[in-house]
Amino acid sequence: MFAHIRKHQQWLFILIIAVVVVSFVIFFTPSVQYDNFGSSGSSDIMGSIDGRPIARKEFINAYQEVLLRFLMATGQWADETDSSRFGFDPEQETPSRLLLLEKAKEHGIQVSDEAVAKWIVTAFKDPATNKFRKELYDNMMTNGLAQRRMTEEDFQRFAKNQIGVSQLTSLVGMSGDLVSPREADLLYREDNLQANTQVVFFSSTNFANLGQDLEGLETFYTNRMALYRTPDKRKINYLKFASTNYLAEAETKLAGITNITEMASLIYTEKGTNSFTDNGVVLSEEAALEQIKNEELEKVGLTIAKEKALEFAKELFDIEPMKAESLPQLATTKGFTAEVSEEFTESQLIPNLGVQYQLTRQAFQLTDEEPFTTPFLAQDGVYIVSLNSIIPSSIPSLDEVRGRVTVDFYQQKSLESAREAANTFHETLTSQLAEGKSFDAICDEAGYDRKQMALFSMSTQNYSGDRRADISSLKNLAFALDVGEVSQVSSTRDGAMILYVNSFVEAREEDVEKELPDFTETLRRTRRSEAFSEWLVQGQSSMNFATASDESETGAGDANN
């Protein structure tokens, strides 16, 4: 792929700028992000729903709305937080957003300007006073949206469509409301039936024998060699263009376009005096202004660092033949010093760099044929990276990891002993219970302690009982039994357990009367959500959209050909 790229240096430079700018700048530009969609770079059709073509502008509008929905839900833009922990992928959610908007039109849902105004008032009200805070709304329009090249019109379109989607959700999920009082009552009582149980635990620590012989250690290691394999590792060469190296140049550049003192005062006034703190303490005006100046200088310094990094990258990519060592060599000729990272695995952040995990992923895609990454942004600078070395995975000899293997061997033997003891006692327990002997008497005779567990029900989430048993296992065991029965042997984190049901405790009538209305409403919401989700999955079969990954794979294949 790089061989093909090198024949198109001007295109390469534009590509690098596009990649870096989309990642670096404080705003998001949908038109840049989606230049890769469609059958060609100039295509205005992004896909279709029920055969109706979806134009690029319509797709970009929906993408903006997806970003705004995340912002309104979390208080942060998706690229300013780890949005993946929310399961959020705007590229994947945009077609679904378009489908919802299309279906809202089909159902004749119309949203009035008055409804939009009420929605905005609610979204920007002070939770303490319950009053609309216009300054928050104005700040969102002039700063939050403007910095991402969105307008107030975009936000109001989002609000209107969000209301329409909510109405569609309610309409489609109406079947979930069909929960009768009797059904709700029965389900509540079933969910809140409490199990009164005792458990006999067989913990591996009670069966540990560190003095036992090590017969079978070699076989144990051979059967588990993959567990001791050292993972693939990498080292990289890197050259950092730190923003702090360009502060003097940034100050000169900033002074040429604005009065930095006046700019700092304006920002201080707009954001409010309480917005500037140090360890939770509000700064004085003088200290706050100094903080603002430094932050603005660092922003400009980072911009200059990007420019320097891109200049260096272009020259680096011009060097023939393409070799990883060209990075440190060129750095030396330019008066810079390239560093070599410590070794790292594919699951690690690169040590001591303070960069995102994304650079680790990129480093593990480097090869001798394609040894460079595009410039990579960190909070305080830009990195140019090349492959230094590949340290392949290997399986150590037993002698190299004997200590670790021995510990694992002892732990495994202890677990096996605990579970063997549990199985033996289970046979005794079931046969003697059948003869009419009591659970307590059988345990006492065998010398096993039993633990009286705290009551729990199918609705129990947070359980304060014995930490050796998780609540999910307890539920599965207890509610499959009748009173006076014992469970099969069940594995635990450190051994095994056997559960005995003393009794079941019905929900109290006063709790039923008090909690049933909320339970019924929650049940209906769940049913509505399930109905809507099922409807949405069915509707997705009518969509046909290319994804950025689809296009990149196609492009890569074309380049290689």
What's the whole-number mean pLDDT along residues 536-554?
A: 61
Q: Which comes out higher in pLDDT, residue 32 or 118?
A: 118
**Confidence at residue 136, expressed as pLDDT on a 0 to 100 scale:** 87
Pick the range with the lowest mean pLDDT from 46-50, 109-113, 283-287, 368-372: 283-287
Residue 554 has pLDDT above 90, yes or no: no
Q: Which comes out higher in pLDDT, residue 470 or 261?
A: 470
What's the whole-number mean pLDDT along residues 33-52?
A: 61
Supply φ then ψ for residue 29, to 5 degrees: -115, 100
Are residue 41 and residue 75 in the same domain, yes or no?
Answer: yes
474 domain residue, yes or no: yes
Best-predicted range by mean pLDDT among 40-44, 53-57, 338-342, 557-561? 338-342
19 domain residue, yes or no: no
**Confidence at residue 257, expressed as pLDDT on a 0 to 100 scale:** 67
Place of tokens 């008032």: 121
**Confidence at residue 228, expressed as pLDDT on a 0 to 100 scale:** 94
Is residue 210 classed as helix, strand or coil in its secondary structure?
Answer: coil
Closest CA to 497 of 201, 196, 204: 201
Closest CA to 203 of 525, 43, 418: 418
Q: Which comes out higher in pLDDT, residue 103 or 237?
A: 237
**Confidence at residue 113, expressed as pLDDT on a 0 to 100 scale:** 92
Question: How crowded is the C-beta side of 329, counted as CA atoms within 13 Å?
Answer: 11
- Name 339's Cβ contacts closer than 8 Å, sequence gap at least 6: 237, 238, 239, 240
Residue 4 has pLDDT above 80, yes or no: no
Under 8 Å between Cβ of 160 and 108: no
**Confidence at residue 30, expressed as pLDDT on a 0 to 100 scale:** 38
As separate numbers, helices (DSSP H) first and strands (DSSP E) second, the chain gives 20, 14
**Confidence at residue 17, expressed as pLDDT on a 0 to 100 scale:** 38
Residue 262 has pLDDT above 50, yes or no: yes
Pick the range with the lowest mean pLDDT from 73-87, 231-245, 454-468: 73-87
Average pLDDT in the chain: 83
Residue 221: which pLDDT band, with cuts at 50, 70 and 90?
very high
Under 8 Å between Cβ of 382 and 240: yes
Report how far residue 418's alpha carbon sits from residue 496's, in angstroms, rounded to the nearest whole number.
7
**Confidence at residue 75, expressed as pLDDT on a 0 to 100 scale:** 84
Are residue 224 and residue 240 in the same domain, yes or no?
Answer: no
**Confidence at residue 436, expressed as pLDDT on a 0 to 100 scale:** 94
**Confidence at residue 25, expressed as pLDDT on a 0 to 100 scale:** 30
256 domain residue, yes or no: yes
Q: Which comes out higher in pLDDT, residue 170 or 520?
A: 520
Pick the range with the lowest mean pLDDT from 101-110, 355-364, 541-550: 541-550
Are residue 170 and residue 46 in the same domain, yes or no?
Answer: yes
Query: How many structural domains does the chain have?
Result: 3
Residue 478: which pLDDT band, with cuts at 50, 70 and 90?
very high
Last residue of a domain, one of 391, 419, 442: 391
What's the whole-number mean pLDDT along residues 440-444?
A: 96
Are residue 238 and residue 387 in the same domain, yes or no?
Answer: yes
Are residue 157 and residue 200 in the same domain, yes or no?
Answer: no
Q: What is the pLDDT of residues 74-133, one digit of tens each?
A: 888 888 777 777 778 888 889 889 988 988 888 899 999 999 999 999 999 888 888 898
User: What is the pTM assigned to this prediction?
Assistant: 0.54
Residue 31 has pLDDT above 60, yes or no: no
Last residue of a domain, one of 334, 361, 391: 391
Return the number of other C-beta atoms located less than 10 Å from residue 49's C-beta: 19
Under 8 Å between Cβ of 199 and 498: yes
Q: Which comes out higher in pLDDT, residue 546 or 150?
A: 150
Are residue 203 and residue 295 in the same domain, yes or no?
Answer: no
Rg (CA), the chain: 32
Residue 446 has pLDDT above 90, yes or no: yes
Specify the DSSP class assigned to residue 486.
B
Last residue of a domain, one of 362, 391, 420: 391
Are residue 386 and residue 237 in the same domain, yes or no?
Answer: yes
The residue ranges of DSSP E strands in 155-226, in sequence order, are 194-203
Q: What is the pLDDT of residues 269-282, one digit of tens each?
A: 777 777 778 777 87
Best-predicted range by mean pLDDT among 201-215, 227-241, 252-266? 227-241
Are residue 250 and residue 342 in the same domain, yes or no?
Answer: yes
433 domain residue, yes or no: yes
- Domain residue limits at 40: 33-176+538-560
6 domain residue, yes or no: no
Are residue 103 and residue 154 in the same domain, yes or no?
Answer: yes
Are residue 380 and residue 409 in the same domain, yes or no?
Answer: no
**Confidence at residue 504, expressed as pLDDT on a 0 to 100 scale:** 96
The residue ranges of DSSP E strands in 210-276, in sequence order, are 233-242
Q: What is the pLDDT of residues 183-204, one digit of tens each?
A: 889 999 999 999 999 999 999 9
What's the whole-number mean pLDDT along residues 382-395?
A: 94
- Per the DSSP assignment, residues forming a β-bridge with 497 are 201, 490
Report how far residue 119's alpha carbon sits from residue 529's, in angstroms, rounded to the nearest whole number.
22
Q: Which comes out higher in pLDDT, residue 292 or 358?
A: 358
One-letter amino acid at 546 equals: A
Are residue 350 and residue 387 in the same domain, yes or no?
Answer: yes
Residue 523 has pLDDT above 90, yes or no: no
Closest CA to 303 of 14, 17, 9: 17
**Confidence at residue 18, expressed as pLDDT on a 0 to 100 scale:** 35
521 domain residue, yes or no: no
Q: What would the two tokens of residue 118 be?
A: 């009420």
Report how far residue 229's alpha carbon sits from residue 241's, in angstroms, rounded to the nearest whole number.
37
Supply φ then ψ for residue 125, to 5 degrees: -90, 155
Q: How many degrees, rounded to 5, is the angle at CA 79 between CA 12 and CA 311?
A: 25
**Confidence at residue 258, expressed as pLDDT on a 0 to 100 scale:** 67
481 domain residue, yes or no: yes
Are residue 85 and residue 204 in the same domain, yes or no?
Answer: no
Q: What is the CATH number of the domain that holds 169?
A: 1.10.4030
520 domain residue, yes or no: no
Q: How many degrees, rounded to 5, is the angle at CA 276 between CA 274 and CA 279?
A: 105
